[in-house]
Amino acid sequence: MSEVEKTKSIAWREAVDRYQNPDLNRSLWQLANSIAPFLLFWYLMYRSLEVTYWLTLALAVPTAGFMVRVFIIFHDCGHGSFFKSKRANDWVGTLTGILTLTPYFQWRHDHAIHHASAGNLDRRGVGDVMTLTVDEYRALPRLKRMGYRIFRNPVLMFTVGAWMVFALVNRFTHKTSDRRGRFSVYLTNLALLNIILLLSLLIGFKAFFLVEFPVLVIATGVGVWLFYVQHNFETTYWERKADWDFVSAGLKGSSFYKLPRVLQWFTGNIGFHHIHHLGPRIPNYYLSKCHCENPIFQQVKPLTILTSLKSLSYRLWDEKNRRLVGFGALEMRLP
C-alpha cells in the first residue's frame, strides 16, 4: 500500500469512527416523531373515507413518507447503529419490521451480505438489484433476455415489483435463511395476520385495504427507488473479486443523493450512502454531520433528483468501458 493510500485509509476510518456512538435521546425522539405520525396519518386516512377517496389518496403521501422513515429506523437497527444495546436494536427492529412488512432477522442477514459484496461482480444475487454485464446479456437466449428487460423496466420495478417484494416476497423464507431468519418470517407473518384480522373487525377489510394499499404502493416504490439509485448510476463501481476493494465500493459505488431538506428528513439521511457503506454503524442522524465535517466525503459528486433520473435508463454493466449503459447503447447481433 502506497503512502497516499495509507493516508486515505486512516482518514476515512478516523472520520467514520467519530460518529458511531448512538445518542439514546435522539434515537427515542426519532422513534416518537416517526411512528406516532405514521399511525396518526393512517387513522386520518381511514376517517377521510367518509369525505372523499381523493382526500384519502392525498393523505397517503405523507403517511407513506413516515413509513419510509420508520423503515430507516428498522434499517439502522439491522446495523446495530440505532441503540448501543443489541437487545434494544433487535426488539425495535422486529417491531418496525412488522410495521414495514419486513422480517427483521432475515433482512438483516441479506443486507449484511449486500454490504460485504456491493460492487463485486462475482458476488451478485443477494440483497441487490440484479444487474447483468453486457456480455452476459448477449449470451442469454431470447426468452431470458425478455425476462430481464421486463424485470429492469422502471415502470414495473418501482410499482408492481416494489409492492410485491414487501407484500409477497417477504412472506417467504429464503434458501439461505438461518433459524432466526426463518423465525422472523413466521413471527412477522403471524403479527401481520393478527393486525389485518383485528382492523378488519374494527373498520372492515374494505376500509383497511383502501387505506393500506396506496400507502404501500407509494412507500415501497420510493424505498426501492432509493435503494436503486444508491448504486445504479452511470459511473458506479463494479469489479471482479480479484480487483474488488471495499473503500472504492463505498466511495465510488454508493451515491451521494442530495435531496431537499424535507425529503432528506423523511428518508433519514440515507442519501449519504457513500458514508453509510463505509460506516454502517453510524446512526442515520449523524450521516449529514459526518459528511459536512470531513472533506474526504465531500469529494463525491452528488446526484440531484434531476440528474438521478438518468439512472432510469441504465440496465447493464459495460465491463470494457466501466459504466452502466442502457439497452439502446448496444450494437446487438441477435441469434
56-65 pLDDT, tens digit each? 999 999 999 9
Closest by alpha carbon to 232, among 160, 313, 153?
313
269-289 pLDDT, tens digit each? 999 999 999 999 999 999 999
Residue listed under C-alpha cell 480487483? 243
214-267 pLDDT, tens digit each? 999 999 999 999 999 999 999 999 999 999 999 889 889 999 999 999 999 999
Average pLDDT over residues 303-317: 94
E strand or H helix at 35? helix 24-48
> What is the distance between the alpha carbons of residues 246 and 265, in angstroms, rounded to a whole number?
28
Is the pLDDT higher at 130 or at 70?
70
pLDDT of residue 229: 95
pLDDT of residue 10: 56
Global pTM reads 0.93
What SS3 state is found at 318?
strand
> Would you say residue 160 has pLDDT above 50?
yes
pLDDT of residue 127: 79
* Mean pLDDT estimate for the chain: 93
What SS3 state is found at 316?
strand
> What is the distance between the alpha carbons of residues 286 and 278, in angstroms, rounded to a whole number?
14
> What is the distance between the alpha carbons of residues 198 and 277, in angstroms, rounded to a whole number?
39
pLDDT of residue 12: 80
* DSSP structure string for 75-144: HHHHTT-S-S-HHHHHHHHHHHHHHTT--HHHHHHHHHHHHHHTTBGGG-SSSS---EEHHHHHHS-HHH
Closest by alpha carbon to 95, among 182, 20, 192, 178?
192
> What is the distance between the alpha carbons of residues 62 and 106, in angstroms, rounded to a whole number?
28
221-234 pLDDT, tens digit each? 999 999 999 999 99
pLDDT of residue 11: 75
How is residue 74 written as a grid cell? Answer: 428498522
83-109 pLDDT, tens digit each? 999 999 999 999 999 999 999 999 999
71-80 pLDDT, tens digit each? 999 999 999 9
Domain boundaries, the chain: 3-129+179-219+241-304
> Would you say residue 14 has pLDDT above 90?
no
Query: Strands (DSSP E) along the chain, which ranges?
Result: 132-133, 256-257, 302-303, 316-318, 323-325
pLDDT of residue 125: 80
168-198 pLDDT, tens digit each? 999 999 888 899 999 999 999 999 999 999 9
Q: Cα-flanking dihedrals φ and ψ of residue 149, to 5°?
A: -60, -40
Residue 331's pLDDT band, with cuts at 50, 70 and 90, is: low
Average pLDDT over residues 15-30: 95
pLDDT of residue 143: 96
pLDDT of residue 1: 40
